[in-house]
Structure 1
Amino acid sequence: MYISLSDRRRREDPETSPAGGTTETGATGTPPPPVRRAGRVSSTVVALGFVSLFTDVSSEASAAVLPLYLTGALGLSVVAYGVIDGLYQGVSSMVRIAAGWASDRADRPKRVALVGYGLSALARIGLLFATGFAAITAVVVGDRIGKGIRTAPRDALIAASAEPAELGRSFGVHRMLDTVGAATGPLIAFAVLLIVPEGYRTVFVVSLAFALLGVVVLGALVPDRRPRAERATDDAPPAPFRWRLLRAPRLVRLLVAAGLLGLVTIGDGFLYLALHDRLGFAPMWFPLLFVGTNVVYLALAVPIGRLGDRIGGRRVLIGGHVVLLCAYVLASLPLVGAGAVAASIGCLVLLGVFYAATDGILAALASAFVPVEARTSGIAAAQTVVAVTRFVAATTFGLLWFALGVGPALLIAAGALAVLIPVAAILLRPRPAEGGASAWT
């Protein structure tokens, strides 16, 4: 794989010669989209990958200590943590559709994304001072609203910068860089806690610094792409956004399938707490559980994205949830000694495979199922459904753990997932009349 670090903004036009033909602009005066050689990934994708890398160092450093900080240092109950984790998973759904609409309407995804990244950075400041349930909840809500604003416009920029046949690879490269940050953040948290026991606020200061760095990189290095205007010509002006475009049959079925699977996708924090409960290791090692998952995600993000380009994203998405089912089973087994360690390592590996097979793949599928003028809103709709249903899943699982214990709660989640995977597979199966020119459409 080669990564191009310089986009050439030339029109994709048969009359444009790579060796020195003329370059025109569309009716809007906006420069035409870049033309890339096969096998290259746009520099916009790479720049956005570094934005996500720095932002994920920030968010994952905080997330890696948050479960123990809340239940240990602050003394909150598992039920309270379930509510906060549910908000962490789902509150972004409040703004995703509105952010997607604003991005599509203005045709300015970068500007909307910049607002979201900036808001999350501001929330990091609040985390330094929040000590009670209400204050922590407010900070988490602010951070997740920022995530809800930024994610779909960012993914729309990736889709606008990718060749259709390399959509999975482009999202895979972005997620690979994103996951470098996701793996580095917990390592930083581990190092801080190793040097400064109970140094949670030190972790939060480092988190703030990386969040600000991500905002700077986005503002300075990512071009202000206008996907609709770049498609315009003198004969075909940019098409306006219409809500009816979100009623595309394949997108609707994707939303239903993603929602059903999201209802039984519990937060990582619960699985890590279950492994900690089984193994009983010292708190300073807890962030390394996040590292284990993220290293696997990092290694597989690009290969699985390329697999989606070859065999179709829906198969990869379903396969990822089968892997998640296996992770639930491993986490629920009442093992001790070496067997418990081996099963816990296997659980981390499977969780990393799950994210590599679902995160970027879902966004790529949503972007392929709607016209370009509604691309951001389509991605936002899919992400909103997942966020809402995972909020329900986290809150419900917290109550199940409290009432039944961790093992029975995990087995219930695994049984429900086993029932819903075939239903989702049927929903995602393409209909003969829908066809498509690539594995994604």
Structure 2
Amino acid sequence: MFRGISGNVLIFGLVSFLTDVSSEMIYPLLPLFLTTVLGAGPAFLGLIEGVAESTAAFLKLVSGILSDRVRSRKGLVLGGYALSSLARPLVAAATAPSAILAIRFADRVGKGIRTSPRDALIADSTDPAFRGKAFGFHRAMDHAGALVGPLIATLLLAWFVKDLRTVFWLAAIPGFLAVVLIIWKVRETARVRTGDGTFLRIVPHGDLRRFLLILFLFTLGNSSDAFLLLRAGELGVTPARIPLLWAFFHLVKMAGSTPFGALSDRIGRRGVIVVGWGVYALSYGGFALAETEVACWLLFAFYGLFYAMTEGAEKALLADLAPSRERGSAFGWYNFAVGAGALPASLLFGAVWEKAGRVAAFGFGAALAALAAVLLLSLVRAPARE
């Protein structure tokens, strides 16, 4: 099961698990805390998330480029995780909505600093024959944390504590353990740096550039999953069952990420990604036409396969396409493309749904996914792995 999973990849999997446990003990409760305890409205919540995610997307690009120039990628990774782990539990001490904005900003700064260097370090630490499995394993552990975190928060509130602030303080524990693991166990890898006399391209070129542009096109049709939860409510999923549906969704993603990542090692990245984007298109078509709650649950399971098929394979393909000395920059551009496309994607989807109906909105997303799949097969060559 762990063949091809290096020590660094295993530790980063545990770090992501613990970090997501910490984050998801807080994040699902944050809207309730903002509105009922601090008196903020939906518009301010939107401002917080918009600022947070835009900040993270930009810094992922900057930190990726920087990580190719500095001696220690581990230092950037450690700094990013430490900043987020210190900032996140301070939500418990917040007395005004503006404090939440500052805390979420600091949390996302940490995420922006660590993500691209971490992904590059995972690629550097993995035999090319096992990159899909390694990135799939990492995503599986991330999804496991997203599943466990809300369950712990629910258990604490049901049986042990009476207020949200206590839960937020307790969320510091897994975050602290994640930072300790990085300090104790993560090892820097030998690599060629720009400072060693090699030339580094900041802007991607060739197949790598084409892949990133196609990925951005796909992302424009990949709107927030919040719209799927809205659709679930229309199909009869009650508020009490929404958390269960969300946990079920994460379970599917967790279970499938490692096997599909490993499959991309055997049969090629492009084929797995194309099938995954096809699953996305079919899922969106299903959400547009579904009429029952049972259909909604089945569609969420099917849609979870899209994540399982693509998350690990996309990052492995990126690592295959990027020269090792430019890998941090490549992951920076990858994360920036996904982050930069997310906001207009949701705005487009919402506008189309409002003006032309849900069938047109889901159809738009499905069409862009299908187009991206065709372009990936047509314009990006299967790379020779280093």
TM-score range, shorter chain: 0.7 to 0.9
TM-fit CA distance, 1:422:
3.3
Residue aligning to 1:352:
304
Q: Distance in 1 between matches of 2:320 and 2:83?
A: 29
Residue aligning to 1:191:
155
Alignment-mate amino acid for residue 162 of structure 1: T
Q: Distance in 1 between matches of 2:248 and 2:282?
A: 17
Residue aligning to 1:253:
210
TM-fit CA distance, 1:332:
4.6
TM-fit CA distance, 1:343:
2.4
Q: Distance in 1 between matches of 2:223 and 2:239?
A: 24
Q: What is the aligned counterpart of 1:391 among 311, 335, 343?
A: 343
Q: Distance in 2 between matches of 1:120 and 1:277?
A: 36
| SS state at 1:227 partner | coil
Q: Considering only CA atoms, is the larger Rg found in Structure 1 or Structure 2?
A: 1
Alignment-mate amino acid for residue 345 of structure 2: A
TM-fit CA distance, 1:301:
0.9
| SS state at 1:367 partner | helix
Residues 1:102 and 2:89 are matched in the alignment: no
Q: Distance in 2 between matches of 1:144 and 1:53?
A: 17
Q: How does 1:402-417 map to 2 (within 5 A)?
A: 403=354, 408=357, 410-417=358-365
Q: Please, what TM-score do these two structures have when normalized by structure 2?
A: 0.87
Q: Distance in 1 between matches of 2:67 and 2:102?
A: 26
Residues 1:424 and 2:382 are matched in the alignment: no
Mark the CA change 1:196 to 1:333 in structure 2 (over 3 Å): closer, same or farther.
farther
Q: How does 1:103-122 map to 2 (within 5 A)?
A: 103-122=67-86
Alignment-mate amino acid for residue 291 of structure 1: A
Q: What is the aligned counterpart of 2:247 among 265, 268, 291?
A: 291
TM-fit CA distance, 1:54:
0.4
| Per-residue deviation, residues 258-305 of structure 1 (Å, max 9, x unmatched) | 11111222223343344246536355x544333212111111111110
Residue aligning to 2:219:
262
Residues 1:128 and 2:92 are matched in the alignment: yes
Residues 1:171 and 2:119 are matched in the alignment: no
Mark the CA change 1:347 to 1:193 in structure 2 (over 3 Å): closer, same or farther.
farther
TM-fit CA distance, 1:416:
1.7
Residue aligning to 2:275:
319
Q: What is the aligned counterpart of 2:314 among 350, 353, 362?
A: 362
Alignment-mate amino acid for residue 322 of structure 2: V
TM-fit CA distance, 1:393:
2.5
Alignment-mate amino acid for residue 242 of structure 1: L
Q: Distance in 1 between matches of 2:248 and 2:236?
A: 16
TM-fit CA distance, 1:360:
2.3
Alignment-mate amino acid for residue 243 of structure 1: R
Mark the CA change 1:322 to 1:371 in structure 2 (over 3 Å): closer, same or farther.
same
TM-fit CA distance, 1:161:
1.2
Alignment-mate amino acid for residue 325 of structure 1: A
| Per-residue deviation, residues 134-165 of structure 1 (Å, max 9, x unmatched) | 44333322222211111111111111111111
Residue aligning to 2:229:
272
| Per-residue deviation, residues 348-379 of structure 1 (Å, max 9, x unmatched) | 31332122122222222221111101101101
| Per-residue deviation, residues 40-69 of structure 1 (Å, max 9, x unmatched) | 321111011111110111122323334555
Q: What is the aligned counterpart of 2:260 among 297, 304, 317?
A: 304
Residue aligning to 2:112:
148
Q: Which runs of 5+ in 1 are unaligned?
A: 4-38
Q: Distance in 2 between matches of 1:114 and 1:75?
A: 35
Mark the CA change 1:205 to 1:273 in structure 2 (over 3 Å): closer, same or farther.
farther
TM-fit CA distance, 1:310:
2.3
Mark the CA change 1:334 to 1:84 in structure 2 (over 3 Å): closer, same or farther.
farther
CA contact (8 A) 1:330 1:346 kept: no
| SS state at 1:91 partner | helix
Q: Distance in 1 between matches of 2:224 and 2:299?
A: 14
TM-fit CA distance, 1:241:
5.0
Q: What is the aligned counterpart of 1:63 among 18, 22, 27?
A: 27
Which moved further from structure 2: 138-147 or 423-432?
Answer: 423-432
| Per-residue deviation, residues 287-343 of structure 1 (Å, max 9, x unmatched) | 4333212111111111110121123222322332332334444445574xxx31x12
Residue aligning to 1:25:
none
Q: Which runs of 5+ in 2 are unaligned?
A: none
Mark the CA change 1:288 to 1:435 in structure 2 (over 3 Å): closer, same or farther.
closer
Q: Percent identity?
A: 35
CA contact (8 A) 2:147 2:251 kept: yes
Q: Distance in 2 between matches of 1:118 and 1:100?
A: 18
| SS state at 1:56 partner | helix
Q: Distance in 1 between matches of 2:187 and 2:171?
A: 26
CA contact (8 A) 1:105 1:241 kept: no
The two structures, once aligned, show a CA RMSD in angstroms of: 3.1
| SS state at 1:225 partner | coil
Alignment-mate amino acid for residue 259 of structure 1: F
CA contact (8 A) 2:288 2:363 kept: no
Q: Distance in 2 between matches of 1:76 and 1:314?
A: 45
CA contact (8 A) 1:87 1:141 kept: yes
TM-fit CA distance, 1:188:
1.3
Mark the CA change 1:350 to 1:87 in structure 2 (over 3 Å): closer, same or farther.
farther
Q: Distance in 1 between matches of 2:262 and 2:345?
A: 30
Q: How does 1:29-108 map to 2 (within 5 A)?
A: 39-70=3-34, 80-108=44-72
